Amino acid sequence: MPNPSGATPQPLTPDEESLVRALGQVMHVLPRAIDADMVGDRQLPLTEYTALMNLSETPDRRMRMNELAALCHLSLSGMTRTIIRLETQGLVRRERCEEDARGWNAVLTDAGYARLQESWPSHLAAVRRRFLQHFEGFDLAQLARAFQRAGTAEPAD
C-alpha cells in the first residue's frame, strides 16, 4: 500500500480520469458486443472461439490443457469446462497425451475447424468495426507495446 496513512495522494488529472473511465467502459462493452455479433452470426461465444482459434494455430491442431488455458487467459478448470462444452458440440475431442499419461490434448476436429472457418470472418469484422476502426491514425505498434506492459501481471516498479 503505497500511501502511508495521512496525506491523501494526488488525484488523477482530467485526462487520466477520462481514459480510465473509457477503458472501464470498453472492458465491459466490447466483449459483449463482439460476442453478440458472433452469436448472432455464427453461434460461437468468444471464449469458445478463442479456444478453437488457438488450437487451429498449432501445427497438428492439438494442445495440452495447460498451455491452452494460458493462451485463452482462463484458469485450468475454466479451460476444462470450455473444452467439455466444445466436446459435446463435436468441435473438439480429447486424447490422452502419449508421452505423459496424466496429460490430455484438446484436438480440433474437422467439424471444429469448419466451424472456425465459418466464424472467423464475422469475428474479424467485429474486431475491426468495434475496436480497430477507432484507432486509425494511431501508432498501433507503440500502443500494443504499452498494453503488453499493462497486461503483464506484476509491474516491476
**Interface residue list for its own copies (CB under 8 A):** 1-4, 8-9, 11-13, 15-16, 18-31, 33, 41, 53, 56-57, 73, 116-117, 120-122, 124-125, 127, 129-135, 138, 140-141, 143-153, 155, 157
Measure the CA–CA gap between 130 and 132, rounded to whole angstroms: 7
| Cell triple for 137 | 491514425
What number of chain residues touch DNA (CB under 7 A)? 25
Cα angle: 46, vertex 47, 53; to 5 degrees = 85
Q: Does 122 bind DNA (CB under 7 A)?
A: no
Bridge partner residues of 147 (DSSP)? none
Question: Binding residue for DNA (CB under 7 A) from 47, 109, 119, 122?
Answer: 47
Q: Which residues contact 126 (CB under 8 A, 6 or more apart)?
A: 33, 34, 37, 38
Measure the CA–CA gap between 51 and 67, rounded to whole angstroms: 11
Rank residues 31 and 97 by Cβ distance to its own copies and give the closer one: 31
Part of the chain binding DNA (CB under 7 A), chosen from 17-25, 52-60, 69-77, 138-146: 69-77
* Residue 55 near residue 105, CB atoms below 8 Å: no
Rank residues 24 and 103 by Cβ distance to DNA and give the closer one: 103
Q: Does 75 bind DNA (CB under 7 A)?
A: yes
CB of 79 to its own copies, least distance (A): 13
| Cell triple for 63 | 494442445
CB of 65 to its own copies, least distance (A): 18
What is the number of alpha carbons within 13 Å of residue 20 lying toward its C-beta? 7
Which residues contribute to the site for DNA (CB under 7 A)? 45, 47, 64-66, 74-85, 94, 97, 100-105
